[in-house]
Amino acid sequence: MTDTTSTMAPIRTAAGTPIAPGRTPWKHEAVGFVLGFALLALLPLVFGDTYARHILIMAFIYAIVASNWDLSLGYGGVFNFGHLALFGIGVYAYSLLTKLAGLDPWIALFASGIIATLAAILVTIPILRLKGIYIILVTFGFAQLVMQVILSQSDITGGTQGIVRIPGLYWFDHNMVRDGKSAYFYIALALLVASTLFLRVFVRSRAGASIVALRDNEEYAISRGISIVRQRMLTLAASAFFTGIAGAFYAAYQRNASIDVFGMSLATIILSMVLLGGTSTIYGAIIASFVLTVFAEWMADFGAWRPMITAVLIIGVMLAYPSGLAGMIKAAWGAVAGRIKRPA
């Protein structure tokens, strides 16, 4: 009898990329993608007050930064601790381009993404052949270098005082100041949709498969012709564009730029979102961004106890589900689906 299991060809996508076992078919993911973001678009109908929309806008910004960090940290396996510096570069690039150069805010928004991408390519050069702790040291040093440059050029950047009265975004003749933050809400949501779509298409592509191969077995991947130099540079550059745009949007929304965006406090928050959500998922980081942002606001009255309670929450979830919130949701969905399919 012929063993057909060894000769069966793997199922492939339309682009020819093999579908990994357990991977959600792209049609199913597309349906979930549309439904999920459609529900987010309806949130202003539920939360009509301005402050609630502000919390959601901040969650959108954090979700963009965290999900892009998941690309380099989770999928690429690159411990890039300079990722928040790319966000800060976006903040200051937008501020300087609009306030000093007088550039149109929308052009400055996308230019900030390009500048952050170029910065990511620049920091990639010294870490192309490095591994482990050495990548962490170099990327952390890069973040500190950027911060020191901003502090030293206080005549332009404002130094420790930052930059205020930064021009905000506009939408034709719409009054974005007195609309209860509705316009900024939908712009932030549109940026999150674009970022998530880009990330999911990227990780499902051959380029995405190659960076995962390098992460899992570098020697074997290189022996199969995958260039570690090209793929590492591609990974960091791809994770930088929307991170820079998120920084620019943050500056436009808050209308100020502060050196605090380079601090360890924000980096710790974003990293917690990546880990709590579950690495190598993209969606997990987005879900965790909403959970931690809303939870932190809900716990505001607890004062100094708030970070401790948040830390206990994260530890509890990670102990029960090492794959994070994404793994917890997947397990819950599998249990529900199993009960539905189970015959009476």
pLDDT at 308 (0 to 100) = 84
pLDDT over 50 (residue 5):
no
pLDDT of residue 168 exceeding 50, the answer is yes
- Between 82-86, 145-149, 320-324, the lowest mean confidence (pLDDT) is in 320-324
One DSSP character per residue, 82-111 reads THHHHHHHHHHHHHHHHHTS---HHHHHHH
Amino acid in the structure at residue 297? E
pLDDT at 270 over 60: yes
Phi and psi (nearest 5°) for 48?
A: -85, -20
Q: Residue 73 and residue 247: Cα distance in Å, rounded? A: 19
Would you say how long the chain is, in residues?
344
Residue 153 has pLDDT above 90, yes or no: yes
- The domain ranges of the chain are 47-261
Token look-up 């007195």 returns: 178
C-alpha pair distances (Å), 80 with each of 84, 198, 278: 9, 20, 17
φ, ψ of residue 81 to 5 degrees: the values are -85, 10
Instruction: Kindly state the DSSP code that residue 233 receives in the 8-state scheme.
Output: H
Between 28-32, 75-79, 146-150, 305-309, the lowest mean confidence (pLDDT) is in 305-309
Task: Tell whether the torsion through CA atoms of 298, 308, 80 and 160 is positive or negative.
Answer: positive
- Residues facing residue 171 across a β-bridge: 174
Q: Rounded to whole angstroms, how far apart are CA atoms 1 and 13?
A: 31
Strand spans (E) along the chain: 163-164, 256-257
CA 222 vs CA 160, 225, 296: distances in Å: 45, 5, 44
Share of the chain above pLDDT 90, in %: 60
Does the structure show a pLDDT above 80 at 1?
no
* Cα distance between residue 273 and residue 293, in whole Å: 9
- Give 180's Cβ-side CA count (13 Å radius): 9
In terms of DSSP bridges, do strands 256-257 and 163-164 run parallel, antiparallel, or are they unpaired?
antiparallel
More confident residue, 208 or 48: 208
